Amino acid sequence: MKKVLVYLMLFVLMAASIPNFIFANETTGEIYKVCGYLTSDVKGALNSGFKVFIKGTDIETYTDDIGYFEFNSRFQSEKSSTLIITKDKFLERSFEISPVNDMMIGSSELPFEMWAGDVNGDKISNMADLVVIANFFNTLRGAGNYSDKVDLNDDGAVNMSDVVIIAKNFNKTSGDYTKPELCDLSKAGRSVMTPYWDYDIKAGNNIVFCPTFQIAWDALKKDVGGDVDLLGQPQWRII
């Protein structure tokens, strides 16, 4: 009887793992680029090293020094995928995406924020995190039992400035994040930047009015001594 129970448990475990296996090896759907910009909410903290991945798949990447990430993945239009962003010391962030074109999350001008303060990784910033920091309090990088994992502002010291960061985000949870701005890059490609108020808006296009743009553009042409050719396929058309 014992043996039968063991076999039954093994069967249940195998059955539970099958859905993940199928999803991770999806061969249907379209391949789209997903990229974006994020920033830490702590001044001085590194924007690099955030892991960005799609739940239930082996698709993952990491942010670079400016908080940029990019990957290509296969998506099916009829179902959404959970994008998860995580890094030691930060509250994990996740939201659903359903790309039907290449997409960008946040932007270089308006990156979405990641909140520091969850040093024990339980998706809430609270007293338990302060208790962890207390064990490393007043330590310096390269000495004692200093740990990068509790140095919230990455300044090489675990001290009151790190406690203040937890206080700022006290009792925040991963569920408190709102969904960041998602941009369909195929639509961004139809955006037009103009220095004029009276530019004629056409259906299906976006207009970005920038009064100082013409001044900067003229200065650039003067510097290079002629017209400026943009290489590749820029997302913006310039009037």
Site for Ca ion, rule CB under 5 A:
118, 120, 122, 124, 129, 151, 153, 155, 157, 162
Whole-number Å distance between alpha carbons of 34 and 20: 21
Q: Could you tell me the smallest distance in angstroms from the CB atom of residue 27 to Ca ion?
A: 39
Q: Residue with CB nearest Ca ion? A: 118
Q: Could you tell me the smallest distance in angstroms from the CB atom of residue 150 to Ca ion?
A: 8
Q: Could you tell me the smallest distance in angstroms from the CB atom of residue 232 to Ca ion?
A: 41
* Of residues 81 and 174, the one with the C-beta less far from Ca ion: 174
* Of residues 88 and 113, the one with the C-beta less far from Ca ion: 88
* Of residues 164 and 238, the one with the C-beta less far from Ca ion: 164
* Of residues 81 and 125, the one with the C-beta less far from Ca ion: 125
What DSSP assignment string belongs to 137-202?
TTEETTSTT--GGG-TT-SSEESHHHHHHHHHTTT-BGGGPPPPPEEEHHHHTTEEEES-TTPPPP
Q: Could you tell me the smallest distance in angstroms from the CB atom of residue 121 to Ca ion?
A: 7
